[in-house]
Structure 1
């Protein structure tokens, strides 16, 4: 989408976002290639800077500045860049605090069942694998169908479903 189309989408309630990438090749791969989500301290996914619809802070220029901070050395041999995008207003999203609380409840339930499972059983192995997968909050959110979640009281989002986005050319 061109910049005019992006502005129209944001004005219509799409969530404006920017992502800094270390290499320009990474920007192109994000748009058209295979998705390789990162692993951050707040779960696996694609970390972006964004703002809620109707919010004036941070504005588009500030989102870009925040993303540029993570995009590498602009004067280097392979300068980074910024990918500008917007998330569909109907995307399924939540916040990290709520998501973590639900995940922790589910893990507690699995652990309780694990205590009852016989040693060296297929059920025990299955429960241990579920704990391993769901312990990462990003993987937990993706398994529950979320498109993204916002890290509490910050302008940082973790995008899990790239198809919920439009991206500027």
Structure 2
């Protein structure tokens, strides 16, 4: 018990714990904010409670998919981008292989390539998510059904994904 109490006497540890709790609070709030311009159907909530693959994705995403929230993409584009960059750096692309061997400089460049690929994959995944949800009748657009509406919604989903990625890096 004394050891547990002594942990809280260290100001740095207390600050880190508080910061982590605040990040979790921000993530929970973001998971319930529905993307502007989208109306979520009641059927989506019923589907999420039925135990299918959408329910599993929603569970792993902290409930963000059921609300079609700004954090609906989560960190999945970033994880996918990391996997792709790591695989390509294993003698598939010589430029990435060289970067992986250049120490700190190469690591920073590969991280930047991962972030750019995250944006590309997030845009594709976001558009795919929107089209799938509309085609299944889970969401409907309250704005005009045109390119700019999709670009707007994808941008919001990307911003949420990038924010979750940044928050994860801060911990």
Task: Provide the TM-score with structure 2 as the length reference.
Answer: 0.27
Answer 1 or 2: which has greater helix percent: 2
Larger radius of gyration between Structure 1 and Structure 2? 2
